[in-house]
Amino acid sequence: LYFSAQEGILMFYHIKDLQYEIKICADISQPISSLMFSPDYTSLLLVTDQGTVYSYRPAHSGEAVKLLDTSSSCFLAADFLTPGNNYCVSVTISGEVQVWSLEDGTFISKLNLGIEVHVT
């Protein structure tokens, strides 16, 4: 089980039988608003409420890598664009849907929905 603390710390809660262990995986120093696994469960997107998206690869046990920073817009959420793990899609409060490359954070395209968006 992966979860985040208010301070922006990604943690792993490993449960086996009646035993458990908590491991700190990454500290991004920004509150994490959501976590999403890639379709093949090899990558985890960490989305902050400040509009930054990080990638964490559990099998590599390394640090979280900053993919993109959309802090200039009112960023709400991001998720993997399937099939594959090469792109992610984000949405802003104003209804702008954006596609980004996960390889280097390059902006690919956008679509304006023309309505205000809310995340539930």
SS3 per residue for 3-63: EECCCCEEEEEEEECCEEEEEEEEECCCCEEEEEECCCCCCEEEEECCCEEEEECCCCCCC
Residue 19 domain flag: no
Identify any residues that bridge with 108 across adjacent strands, giving them in sequence order: none
- Grade residue 120 by pLDDT with cuts at 50, 70 and 90: low
- Grade residue 109 by pLDDT with cuts at 50, 70 and 90: very high
Sign for the CA dihedral angle at 8, 28, 52, 13 comes to: negative
Question: Which of these, 92, 93, 111, 109, lies nearest to 101 by C-alpha position?
Answer: 109
Q: Based on the structure, what is the number of domains in the chain?
A: 1
CATH number, domain with residue 89:
2.40.10.480
Which range is least confidently modeled, 24-33, 47-56, 64-73? 64-73
- Three-state DSSP state, 107: strand
Residue 20 domain flag: no
DSSP letter for 42, please.
S
Residue 57 domain flag: yes
- Grade residue 112 by pLDDT with cuts at 50, 70 and 90: very high
The pLDDT score that the predictor gives to residue 71 is 60
Average pLDDT of the chain is: 83
The pLDDT score that the predictor gives to residue 75 is 72
- Grade residue 113 by pLDDT with cuts at 50, 70 and 90: very high
Residue 56 domain flag: yes
Residue 91 domain flag: yes
